[in-house]
Amino acid sequence: MLIYYDMRIRYISIMLVLFSLSFGQQNKLFWDGLDWNQIPKSSNYDTEIIFRMKTAYLHGILDGRLYSYLKVWAEDQAIADNVFSETVDYLSNRELIKNLDYFYKDPMNSYIPVANAIIISNMYAERIPIKNIENYINLSRKWINNLTLDLDTLNYSKLLEQKAIKYNSRNTNQYE
């Protein structure tokens, strides 16, 4: 009975997430430059609060990255080291915030996720050749644009139907 209840909760959670995505104003996957640049406005331009909010967000990203690294590392150390090989702690918080503020002044960068911008800021600080950095920026733009386009053209009702069929088939097979 507990397994049935757990699966039912998962199904309802998936349905709620998909429902909210289908009726949301826009498909938002990552925090990006638009969000980063809204922090001063949302904190009434108080420099102390701005710094604390941006620092807290950066710590959250870096903690999440470490958690992901450790989860992958437990499965395969070589893959973890390869996937998470970029340096993301080369700069202090204050330096990183300054670099991100500067990076997001360019409207072309506003849709690049903050996680990618952190890598880009560290690439500049490490004095990686500009050609390589520009290539990474272009790849980041292309990746997020393609991902957003794929989400915009996704048929959520069909996805919900597929999830319902999969859920119902699991429950039917479980009791046979």
Residue 140: band (very low, low, confident or very high) from pLDDT cuts 50, 70, 90:
very high
Q: What is the pTM of this model?
A: 0.69
CA 119/CA 24 separation, integer angstroms = 29
What residues does each domain of the chain span? Answer: 31-128
What's the number of CA atoms in the CB half-sphere (13 Å) around residue 14? 16
CA-to-CA separations, 46 to 41, 65, 71, 114, in angstroms, rounded: 9, 29, 38, 21
Instruction: Report the pLDDT averaged over residues 99-103.
Output: 97
Query: Tens digits of per-residue pLDDT, 30-79?
Result: 889 999 999 999 989 999 999 999 999 999 888 888 888 898 889 988 88
CA 126/CA 121 separation, integer angstroms = 9
Query: Tens digits of per-residue pLDDT, 70-82?
Result: 988 899 888 888 8
